């Protein structure tokens, strides 16, 4: 997974923006739902926030407060430096957070949790709870045409192929899995839960 995201860094936002390989993908209502997701994130109260697996900083830039953005990919962090210049960037592992207990008020993560297997999820949740009292998770909403869990083949612009674990959620399912919480946003493409 680490090598995949390092290789994908410069084209990752194509998924968000409907560019490159995603230009022809049918996603009715995507722009409206992406705008609603931004509003949901911008409405979170300012906090000392750790963005785990921040990627390119595409959503990081919509968080308010003092933001620390962590990713395991140096290339992702290079892009994040451009998109979220106010954030402190940290190279590190989202399953072994390099911070003291209680270092943050909130842990935020987007489209990371749904790639974790059961053991990794347990590690991540323990680490998130160790460093902050609040957790906000953004991930993909379950859809009729997609199984809730699968190994996806992903193809990059260079033609390389990668197998990636992907899970999809309803707001209630994600909330329950996180140990309870509030569904802040649920739509055709995205779910956001605060736990």
Closest of 177, 171, 166, 140 to residue 4, by C-alpha: 166
Segment (H or E) for 73: none
Label residue 144 by pLDDT band (50, 70, 90). confident
CA quadruple 113, 119, 124, 129: dihedral positive or negative? Answer: positive
Specify the pLDDT at position 10. 93
Q: In this model, does residue 1 exceed pLDDT 80? A: no
Q: How many CB atoms lie within 10 A of CB 151?
A: 8
Contact call for residues 110 and 55 (beta carbons, < 8 A): yes
pLDDT tens-digit profile of 67-101?
999 999 999 999 999 999 999 999 999 999 999 99
DSSP string, 129-194: HHH-SEEEEEEEBP-TTS-SEEEEEEE-TTS-EEEEEEE-B-HHHHHHHTTS-EEEEE-SSEEEEE
Q: Which domains does the chain possess? A: 2-194 (3.40.50.150)
Decide if 50 contacts 106 (C-beta within 8 A). yes
Q: How confident is the model at residue 184 (pLDDT cuts 50, 70, 90)?
A: very high
Element at 79 (helix H, strand E): helix 74-83
Radius of gyration of the chain (CA): 16
**Does the global pTM surpass 0.85?**
yes
Q: What are phi and psi of 52, to 5 degrees?
A: -90, 130
């Amino acid at each position: 997974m680490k090598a995949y995201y390092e290789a994908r860094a410069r084209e990752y936002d194509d998924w968000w923006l409907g560019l490159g390989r995603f230009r022809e993908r049918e996603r009715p209502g995507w722009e409206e739902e992406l705008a609603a997701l931004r509003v949901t994130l911008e409405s979170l109260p300012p906090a000392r926030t750790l963005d785990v697996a921040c990627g390119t900083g595409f959503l990081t830039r919509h968080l308010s407060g003092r933001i620390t953005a962590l990713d395991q990919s140096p290339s992702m962090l290079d892009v994040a430096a451009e998109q979220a210049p106010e954030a402190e960037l940290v190279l590190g592992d989202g399953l072994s957070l390099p911070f003291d207990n209680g270092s943050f008020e909130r842990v935020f993560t987007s489209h990371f949790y749904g790639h974790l297997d059961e053991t990794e999820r347990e590690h991540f949740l323990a680490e998130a709870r160790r460093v902050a009292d609040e957790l906000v998770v953004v991930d993909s909403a379950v859809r009729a045409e997609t199984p809730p869990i699968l190994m996806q083949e992903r193809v990059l612009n260079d033609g390389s192929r990668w197998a990636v674990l992907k899970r999809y959620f309803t707001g209630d399912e994600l909330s329950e899995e996180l140990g309870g919480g509030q569904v802040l946003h649920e739509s055709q493409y995205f779910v956001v839960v605060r736990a």
